[in-house]
Amino acid sequence: MAPDKKKIAADCWKKGSEAAEKANWDYAIERYSMAVKLVPDNKLFRQALRGVERNKYKNNKTGKRMAQVSLMKIRTQIKNAQRKENWKLMDEKAEEGLALNPWDAQFNAQLGKACDMLGYKDVALFGYENAVASESSSREFNAELGRLLEERGEYDEAIKCWERICKLDPMDSEARTKVTQLQATSVIDRGGYEGADSIQQVKTGYDYDRPVKANMPEAVDGPGTSVELDLKHAIRKDETNYANHLKLAHFYVREKRLEEAEELFTQALDLSGGDANIREQLEDVQLTRMNQNAMLAAEATRRDPADEQARENAKSLAVELLKRRREILAARVDRYPTDMKFKFELATVLMRMRKWNDAISHLQQASNDVRLKTRALVALGKCFIRAKQPGVARRQFELAIPKIDQHDAPELLCEAHYLLAHVCEEAGDTEKAEQHFMEVIGVDYEYRDARKRLEQLQSGDRSGGDVENEAVG
């Protein structure tokens, strides 16, 4: 960045601080906002801006009164920016929203998302911290904050995020696994490995951060200088202690060395006598590897659409991945019969495999979970369309739509209205079809072909699209 930009930003910061001291909140916000625009990755500027914004509204926790119309417009703009992966615009619009309500959890999380994608990690962390502070019961916000904290090596704080998720849902298997994994990773990074020969082999936090002397022989790696070597030493010392295999496996996962991680998890599974928790961790790594291979194969077909062999390879890997996901999720549904998330995930896989009737059974059970109800009802509607039961499908969408929050799930709301419009159109209820298409474009003007379909209906054209194809999961 050019030095003059830094200088201007520093000047804005100074003037903003002077205005803040005099409680001139509007001018302070103006100057701090300019500093943020000039140096968007500066966390201090964002913190100062949020502070004066909150002071402006006398810390009322709700922001500007009567701003709902403006907030709705900004939310739509943010959604469109995210869909187009225009992270800079998303960042700017999130700041606009926060200027009206600096406590809004969604705006803070969207700021975090945009800055994370832009590489402004400190600001991303700040955004998600504020989101969790405003809405600590959000699984999504806690999970994203936990991920960022883990990336920074702040494992204890990351564990707290996943523990909050566990408290919200004791059956959340991912959260339980993350707590265990992070606890092991924390031990690894502190150097407190099992099997150390002496206290000198266990490195302290200070030792971990201390740079290696330049004249130290490169060929020598003593205890405490390498996580990987120390854990390998611990494994050699006691090959039956599978806890060390797990620690090294988790280390490899963090390093994205998944093939080696899979091998260690397999060994740990054998040594443990088939421990179900270890089996699940092994399956997760296997699925990740399979997904990566499928994505690489798909990318190869995009680079060369004429390559028939590449296309067949991509198709084969995608089918294999889908089947494996089905096997794993079916086993977890059996192991965790009260965890509706597994039933919902299994249903989505079955939908992709076009096994509509099997999916319906799992979705009906998942719809009893209030956290999954709306998504399950929309998915049920899609399944009933494909099962040629449009009347039942219509009922699912009608039950789902009043429960969908436009701000939290605009895409789901659009999809439900859009598919319901098609169902109504096919049933000859054109008035209702028009209403639902209008609801769609009221949320997203460019959603699929909703605007075109509405215009056709209004002009008397009753040749609707193929609702079954629209409902493919």
Mean per-residue pLDDT of the chain: 86
224, pLDDT greater than 90: no
Alpha-carbon gap, residue 47 to 433, rounded angstroms: 47
pLDDT at 4: 73
Residue 23 pLDDT level (bands cut at 50, 70, 90): very high
Residues 290-317 have pLDDT tens digits of 988 888 888 888 888 898 988 899 899 9
Q: What CA–CA distances, in Å, run from 450 to 56, 414, 433?
A: 42, 9, 10
Contact partners, residue 15, CB within 8 Å, separation at least 6: 27, 31
Residue 68 pLDDT level (bands cut at 50, 70, 90): confident
pLDDT at 30: 95
Residues 173-194 have pLDDT tens digits of 788 878 877 776 665 454 444 3
Alpha-carbon gap, residue 74 to 46, rounded angstroms: 19
Residue 211 pLDDT level (bands cut at 50, 70, 90): very low
83, pLDDT greater than 50: yes
Q: Could you tell me if residue 274 is left (phi over 0), alpha (psi between -120 and 50 degrees) or otherwise beta?
A: left
Backbone angles phi, psi at 384, to 5 degrees: -70, -30
pLDDT at 473: 43
470, pLDDT greater than 70: no
Residue 142 pLDDT level (bands cut at 50, 70, 90): very high
Residue 223 pLDDT level (bands cut at 50, 70, 90): very low
Residues 399-432 have pLDDT tens digits of 999 999 887 788 999 999 999 999 999 999 999 9
- Inter-axis angle of helices 105-118 and 121-134, to 10 degrees? 160
Burial class (CB in 10 A: 0-12, 13-18, 19+), 236: exposed
pLDDT at 185: 63
Question: Could you identify the residue written with the tokens 């699912």?
Answer: 396
Residue 199 pLDDT level (bands cut at 50, 70, 90): very low
Q: 340-470 belongs to which homologous superfamily? A: Tetratricopeptide repeat domain (1.25.40.10)
The tokens for 82 are: 């995210």
Residues 2-18 have pLDDT tens digits of 457 778 988 999 999 99
pLDDT at 197: 38
Mean pLDDT to the nearest integer, 261-271: 94
pLDDT at 288: 87
Residue 462 pLDDT level (bands cut at 50, 70, 90): low
Residue 465 pLDDT level (bands cut at 50, 70, 90): low
Dihedral over alpha carbons 388, 392, 397, 402 (to 10 degrees): 180
pLDDT at 205: 33
Question: Could you identify the residue written with the tokens 């990566």?
Answer: 292
Q: What CA–CA distances, in Å, run from 104 to 54, 134, 326, 459?
A: 11, 7, 38, 42
Alpha-carbon gap, residue 165 to 146, rounded angstroms: 10
Nearest Cα neighbor of 162 from 173, 152, 151, 153 is: 173
Burial class (CB in 10 A: 0-12, 13-18, 19+), 471: buried
